[in-house]
Amino acid sequence: MVRGDGYTREWVQLATRIPKTLHRAVKLRCVESETSLMVFVVDAVQEKLAREAGARRRKRPPSK
């Protein structure tokens, strides 16, 4: 099933390495905002992709 944001509800596990200080900052933010680390990361990745897609659209030369 496709959600309104264009992504499916099928989940995969993502394993990555980040600096310890960044992990701590993210964990603290999640505790403060009462959200899960998973939701935080999914939202952050979606926002980054949307921002980059918008930047690419603005850089295109006008169509003739």
CA-closest candidate to residue 14, choices 34, 36, 35, 42: 42
The mean per-residue pLDDT over the stretch 32-61 comes to 88
| Cα 8 to Cα 2: distance, rounded to the nearest angstrom | 4
Give the residue extent of every domain in the chain: 20-58
Mean pLDDT of the chain: 86
pTM greater than 0.75: no
Q: How far apart are CA 2 and CA 36, in angstroms?
A: 22
Q: Is the pLDDT of residue 1 over 80?
A: no
